[in-house]
């Protein structure tokens, strides 16, 4: 089944408008398991009804949106009024600037990501030119778009043959690190402790990361639990060992040894080398003729 786009509009760069459609990048349905709330006595599913304190239960057709401007006082805003606030510009991802791809701190990423794809043949060439320009320049774009009923700050980046779009948090929405200064106590450490820590970091440093090797183990265990209960079996959980409390230096040394051992196990086998001249037997010397 082909993926359905969640948004359609334009990728706007100055006077250039590229028709695009957005697809949600996360495939949450592939691994998520939803548990429902049940009544403990009869296992009937708990239902939530929309009620009015004066008139009781109401239907969806009887519900409107409003803003509380004073305690218990609301002004009603209907969908037609909200729609009139939108302009053609609201249907565009408006690019304000391009910056080096490493310029945006990951703390600003909200976790909502989209793939932008050309919407029809008309925008294919302009889309490809922009995508390649971002790749060649190692750049990402800072842009704005109206999504989910509000103006979102986003960044666009090249990813394989596509352009991805990630929603960013506004600066005012991010708690500053200085707000947690009271949580940090400046600790004294020895040169040996720092050396061991750096050795541990070096031992666990890889040239690249392969995220395909990471799986949601908790969900896999939950699936096994549900399957066992459906079949009437009892799933016996393997008891976990308590985390030992040991000396920092001992922990660092043990961690370094473990990391180095793991790195050695992953290393490819050494190629057989030809025997060195030192190991070869010398050829017999020819006798000189008398």
pLDDT at 21 over 80: yes
CA–CA dist 132, 110 (Å, integer): 26
Residue 151 shares a structural domain with residue 193:
no
pTM of whole model > 0.75?
no
**Would you say residue 137 lies in a domain?**
yes
Residue 162 shares a structural domain with residue 106:
yes
CA–CA dist 270, 283 (Å, integer): 29
Residue 104 shares a structural domain with residue 191:
no
For residue 208, count CB atoms less than 10 angstroms from its CB and return exposed for 0-12, middle for 13-18, buried for 19 or more.
exposed
Mean pLDDT of the 47-70 span? 92
Instruction: List the one residue out of 35, 60, 65 whose CA is nearest residue 49.
Output: 60
For residue range 83-134, list pLDDT tens digits in order.
Answer: 777 766 678 999 999 999 999 999 999 999 999 999 999 899 999 999 999 9
256 lies in which domain range? Answer: 186-202+251-260
- Which residues have a Cβ under 8 Å from the Cβ of 112 and sit 6 or more positions away? 166, 167
For residue range 227-247, list pLDDT tens digits in order.
Answer: 888 888 776 666 666 666 556
Instruction: Label residues 226-242 b or e (16+ Cβ within 10 Å = b).
Output: eeeeeeeeeeeeeeeee
**Would you say residue 212 lies in a domain?**
no
Residue 20 shares a structural domain with residue 134:
yes
Instruction: Indicate the number of domains in the chain.
Output: 2
For residue range 141-189, list pLDDT tens digits in order.
Answer: 999 999 887 899 999 999 999 999 999 999 999 999 999 999 998 888 8
Mean pLDDT of the 278-284 span? 46
Domain with residue 19: its CATH number is: 2.40.290.10
Residue 18 shares a structural domain with residue 136:
yes
Residue 160 shares a structural domain with residue 130:
yes
Residue 191 shares a structural domain with residue 256:
yes
Q: Which residues pair with 140 in a beta bridge?
A: 99
Percent of the chain with pLDDT over 90: 47
């Amino acid at each position: 089944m082909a993926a359905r786009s969640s948004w359609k509009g334009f990728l706007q760069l100055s006077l250039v408008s590229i028709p695009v459609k957005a697809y949600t990048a996360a495939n949450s349905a592939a691994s998520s398991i939803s548990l429902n709330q049940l009544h403990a006595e009869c296992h009937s599913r708990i239902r939530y009804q929309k009620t009015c304190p004066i008139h009781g239960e109401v239907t969806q057709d009887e519900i409107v949106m409003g803003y509380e401007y004073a305690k218990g006082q609301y002004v009603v805003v209907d969908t037609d009024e909200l729609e009139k606030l939108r302009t053609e510009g609201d249907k565009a991802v408006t690019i304000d600037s391009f910056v080096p791809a490493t310029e945006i701190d990951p703390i600003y990423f909200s976790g909502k990501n989209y793939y932008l794809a050309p919407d029809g043949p008309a925008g294919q060439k302009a889309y490809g030119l922009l995508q390649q320009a971002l790749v060649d320049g190692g750049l990402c774009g800072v842009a704005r778009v109206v999504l989910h009923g509000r103006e979102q700050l986003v960044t666009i980046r090249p990813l394989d043959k596509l352009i991805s779009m990630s929603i960013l948090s506004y600066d005012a929405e991010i708690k500053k690190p200085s707000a947690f200064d009271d949580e940090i106590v400046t600790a004294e450490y020895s040169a040996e402790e720092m050396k061991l820590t750096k050795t541990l970091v070096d031992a666990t440093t890889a040239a690249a990361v392969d995220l395909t090797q990471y799986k949601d183990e908790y969900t896999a265990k939950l699936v096994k639990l549900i399957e066992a209960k459906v079949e009437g079996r009892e799933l016996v959980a393997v008891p976990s060992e308590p985390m030992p409390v040991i000396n920092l230096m001992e922990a660092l040394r043990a961690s370094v040894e473990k990391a180095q051992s793991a790195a050695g196990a992953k290393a490819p086998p050494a190629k057989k080398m030809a025997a060195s001249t030192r190991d070869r037997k010398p050829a017999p010397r020819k006798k000189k003729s008398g």
